[in-house]
């Protein structure tokens, strides 16, 4: 919610109840996690990353940027306007 309130992202989908398996400190580990899918403009990525790192309990949170190749024009305009970026 904080990312939306700070206008860093237009929308966040929270997908609860995930089990992740991963290599950490030389062994396979697993954790119960939530997946956040946040929609923003690429110009906001650095700010989003900083905000997540400041709030996330993990030493190394998964934060990746997946570019939007194409999409509904009105939706993409809404994302840009929601994060105060001129489309």
Residue 42 lies in a domain: yes
Residue 18 lies in a domain: yes
Q: How far apart are CA 85 and CA 87, in angstroms?
A: 6
Residue 45 lies in a domain: yes
What are the backbone angles phi and psi of residue 61, rounded to the nearest 5°?
-70, 155
Tell me what pLDDT residue 45 has: 96
Domains contained in the chain, number: 1
The pLDDT tens digits of the residues spanning 27-63 come to: 999 999 999 999 999 999 999 999 999 999 999 999 9
Residue 25 lies in a domain: yes
Tell me what pLDDT residue 15 has: 98
The structure tokens listed for 34 are 């939530």
Tell me what pLDDT residue 84 has: 85
Residue 50 lies in a domain: yes
Residue 56 lies in a domain: yes
- Can you give the residue range of the structural domain that contains 42? 2-82
pTM: 0.86
Arithmetic mean of pLDDT, 11-31? 97
């Amino acid at each position: 919610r904080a990312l939306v309130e700070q206008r860093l992202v237009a929308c966040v989908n929270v997908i609860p109840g995930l089990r992740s398996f991963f290599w950490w400190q030389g062994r396979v580990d697993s954790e119960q996690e939530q997946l956040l899918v946040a929609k923003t403009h690429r110009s906001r990525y650095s700010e989003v990353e900083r905000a997540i790192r400041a709030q996330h309990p993990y030493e190394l949170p998964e934060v990746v940027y997946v570019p939007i190749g194409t999409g509904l024009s009105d939706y993409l305009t809404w994302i840009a306007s929601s994060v105060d970026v001129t489309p």
